[in-house]
Homo-oligomer: A and B are copies of this chain.
């Protein structure tokens, strides 16, 4: 048998989950697509779910993460704030260093 270590990290603020892998994926997709509704299609989740996640991120952080830039019946246009971009960078960086550290430690596994 060979063994692999897996991990999942997430960040909570006082109001609950703020950022996790799914939320970061959604933010990146909003950044690429320029709208929440397109990002929802891209990730195969409902617009309602995507919108709720964005609302939750906006409410559980110190600054807005996703800004509406244009209204519209199809959900309009949205873009990430600089704060959100910084948050994604930080999340990806600690996530990656967590994986790396765990993989290194797994080299000494007793299994």
CB-defined contacts of A9 to chain B, threshold 8 Å: 5-8, 102
Q: Is the CB of A87 within 8 A of B61?
A: no
Q: Is the CB of A5 within 8 A of B11?
A: yes
Residue A44 at the chain B interface, CB threshold 8 Å:
no
Q: Point out the residue from B14, B93, B98, B108 that lies within 8 Å of A98, measured CB to CB.
A: B98
Copies of this chain assembled into the complex: 2
Query: Which interface class (under 10, 10 to 19, 20 to 34, 35 or more) fits A?
Result: 35 or more
Please provide the chain A residues from 61 to 84 with a CB less than 8 Å away from any CB of chain B in the complex: 61-62, 83
A-B contact pairs, 22 of them (CB 8 A): A1-B14, A1-B15, A1-B62, A2-B13, A3-B12, A4-B11, A4-B12, A4-B13, A5-B11, A6-B11, A8-B8, A11-B106, A11-B109, A18-B111, A61-B111, A62-B111, A83-B110, A87-B111, A90-B108, A94-B102, A94-B105, A101-B101
Q: Is the CB of B110 within 8 A of A90?
A: yes
